[in-house]
Chain A
Amino acid sequence: MKKLIATALVAPWLLAAPVVLADIEVGVINSLSGPFAAFGERYQAGMEVALEEINAGGGVRGEPLALSVQDDRSEATSALAAIESLNRQDVPLIMGSYASSITGPMAQLMTRQEIPLIVLGSADNSITKPGSPWVFRAKHNSSIVAKSYFDYFDFLREGDDSLNTVAMLYGNGAWPASLAEEGARLAKERGYKIVGDQSYDQGTSDFRPILNRFRSEEPDLLYVVAYAEDGVAIARQMREVNLNPKAVAIDTGAALPSFIDQVGDLAEYVVTVVSWSKDVQYKGVEDLYERLKAKTGEEPTFYEAEGYLALRVAADALERAESLERSDVRDALAETDLDTPVTHVAFENFDGFQGQNPIRSLVLQIQDGEHVTVFPTDLAAEDVRYPTPAWEER
């Protein structure tokens, strides 16, 4: 019986072991099933585009690059098992995962086991603050995103000094909560008055009670952090209750092309912060847009771009590393200075962060049914449209 148990435990590993070993294999832990699969699929597509590009350009260190992908079922314990599994394959580094509840434990374990981690999706501050010498994040975090929104608000205030009050509405997940925390801090620091601060539990997308409360406060700015479906509901219900702020920011939800499809005309004037957009003024961006689009058959988003970015960073470090030993790979990652069509990458230690790329986030505004980069001004494709007209005037 005991033998049977042991065999039962080990057999799947033997079966699952790859038959043909590529020359250089990097580990990927991604949410391919479970509640985060929608994001996992997008990251996967982005990584595949980067992989094709890298191998078409001769691979890494003269050999083809391959991905060893493990599903984390959108849960932390499976991700930890996947780390052990990839560790046995001796991968030089691992990329992963989407949620902070998965990426947090991964970062902890990999730091202790001294395996370099390139963060794929999680944007929570806590992953790189205080961080560790083994954890690297090329994409943004809560501080950077919140700062982008308030820099944008400051920019608007330069032209309209009546901008003063802000109302905040956010989900109670880790990302919305941390973005709201940072937002509240910045609002105080920069002299905005918070007239509404409400969080919600995911459920039946009824925001009317909250929006009605806000209406009586007449906020100048509305700062919303919500995922896709809730973002759409909020945009629609704002019109229903006739809430008219001068500027509306909806993080995450409003960044997806489906937001515009679903909300239609009501989406106009809404802004959202992303790490990448197809019209940003970086070299090679049109080409990347075309390839991402060909891969998924849909309008690409910053999710695919971030997947692409993570693998580009990995390949660049592997190319430059003295050997494929993990400590050498880590040293190479720390020295990264890479230009990509997504952003520039250099990992730095600042403001208590470690191994964080101080990426410049972009503020997109929805104009005539398209996401358009409007801020920071030197990367912008169009001018900001401001103020948002009241619903009756549209």
Chain B
Amino acid sequence: MFDYVSFMQNLSNGVLIGGVYALIGVGLTLVFGVMKTINFAHGDFVILGMYCAVLLNTLFGWDPYLSLLVAMPLGFLTGAILQRVVLSRLVEAPPESSLLVTLGLSLVIGNILLLTFGAEPKSVNVSYASSTVSLGEVRFSLILLLAGLATMVVIAGLYAVLNHTELGRAIRATADNRLGAELVGTNTRRIEAVVFGIGMALAVTAGVVLIPLLFATPTFSGAIFTLKAFVVTVLGGLGNIGAAIAGGLLLGVVEVMGASYLTSDYRNAYGLLVFLLVLLLRPEGLFGKTVKRV
């Protein structure tokens, strides 16, 4: 017999987890769209955000959401500086160099965290960690709902910046046609630093939002987040902000439904299979524009 309630329960869980994935993926998508750089340290940026929340919580007892006030600007600055000092040097280098340097960066970040905070997993225990909101017989996790809300706010904000500001126009111009943007007087070097800063700020935000939900480990979970972010961005279409949400939701639903109705030990494989299928059949992503890619 088909259990309608538990189906709705699983579907809604999938959507909520998907919201978290979308938040992890959106920064990577933006950076790729503008700089054509695959950032392997993205997951470690997420972890940096988690530790930022942990630190502010232990020092001042701040709620994780409050620490966004510090984490976001700090993430933006660090990202911009990293782009200026490290990535901008690689413009002339072979195409995979940025991928490699971010791999190295990921090791460096993870191990600096290991040396400062120790290897013990850290988290912030909020009082609402296992609270639920009920809608009929279906229960929603409060922290997942909050995370979903944060995703919507962040992506709406990003959308507004990209479409309704001068800076957004310059960013989009650089993404569409770098040379063209330079010809009309855009400082693309500055734009790239800003974009990488925004990308890192988004990753850090994801980390802060995730801390009531997940533990921060210095060297372990970075790669997992990076992989999820890749899957989300490719599903939606690399470089397409709005589609990152769709990619995240799709990944969340596929994983949760697979784990619920097939077998949970292949949970991560379900997402990867869909990822491969999309990559092979519709390389521009499910929601990307049909253009030939380089």
Contact = CB atoms under 8 A, between A and B. Distances in A.
Interface of A: 33-41, 172, 198-206, 208-210, 212-213, 216, 228-229, 232-233, 236-237, 239-242, 258, 261-264, 266
B151 interface: no
Contact of B139 (A198, A204, A209, A240): A240
Given A38-B120, A201-B267, A241 B219 contact: no
Most chain A CB atoms below 10 A, which of B17, B265, B268: B265
Contacts of B125: 261-264
B20 interface: yes
B224 A240 contact: no
Given A198-B264, A239-B130, A264-B125, A203 B224 contact: yes
B163 interface: no
B260 interface: yes
Contact of B215 (A206, A210, A212, A232): A232
A201 B215 contact: no
B121 A34 contact: no
Interface string B268-283: 1000000000000000
Given A37-B114, A203-B224, A216-B3, A208 B264 contact: no
Interface in B194-224: 213-215, 217, 219-220, 224
B174 interface: no
A199 B17 contact: no
B123 A229 contact: yes
Please list the 9 inter-chain residue pairs (A to B) with the smallest Cβ-Cβ separation, ordered nearest first: A229-B215, A38-B119, A37-B119, A209-B259, A236-B130, A209-B260, A199-B265, A198-B264, A239-B130
Contact of A200 (B129, B260, B265): B265
A36 B119 CA distance: 8
Contacts of B263: 198
Contact of B214 (A40, A201, A204): A204
Nearest to B260: A209
Given A38-B118, A242-B139, A261-B125, A205 B213 contact: yes
Contacts of A206: 13, 17, 255-256
Interface in B223-246: 224, 228
Nearest to B125: A262
B214 A209 contact: no
A37 B9 CA distance: 38
A240 B16 CA distance: 14
Contact of A41 (B119, B259, B264, B265): B119
Nearest to A230: B215
B6 A229 contact: no
Given A38-B119, A237-B130, A203 B267 contact: yes
Nearest to B6: A212
Nearest to B122: A258
A35 B139 contact: no
Given A198-B265, A229-B214, A266-B130, A209 B256 contact: yes
B139 A241 contact: yes
Contact of B260 (A33, A213, A232, A236): A213
A212 B214 contact: no
B10 interface: yes
25 contacts: A33-B114, A35-B217, A35-B220, A36-B119, A172-B265, A203-B267, A204-B214, A204-B228, A205-B214, A206-B13, A206-B255, A209-B10, A209-B259, A212-B10, A216-B6, A229-B217, A232-B123, A233-B213, A236-B129, A236-B130, A240-B130, A241-B9, A241-B139, A263-B125, A264-B125
A210 B259 CA distance: 7
B84 to A, nearest CB: 30
Contacts of B6: 212, 216
B187 interface: no
B217 A204 contact: no
Contacts of A266: 130
Contact of B264 (A200, A216, A239, A261): A200
Nearest to B228: A204
Contacts of A240: 130, 132, 139, 141
A239 B121 CA distance: 22
Interface in B112-162: 114, 118-121, 123, 125, 129-130, 132, 139, 141
A106 B120 CA distance: 25
B130 A212 contact: no
A204 B219 contact: no
Interface in B67-112: 111
A183 to B, nearest CB: 16
Contact of B9 (A40, A204, A212): A212
Nearest to A35: B220
A34 B219 contact: yes
Contacts of B264: 198-200, 209-210
Interface string B1-13: 0010010011001
A212 B260 contact: yes
B254 to A, nearest CB: 12
Nearest to A210: B264
B123 A262 contact: yes
B22 to A, nearest CB: 13
Contacts of B118: 38, 41
B174 to A, nearest CB: 33
A43 to B, nearest CB: 12
Contact of A38 (B3, B121, B123, B267): B121
Contact of A228 (B121, B228, B259, B265): B121
Contacts of A41: 118-119
Contacts of B219: 34-35, 37
A203 B119 contact: no
A228 B13 contact: no
A216 B261 CA distance: 13
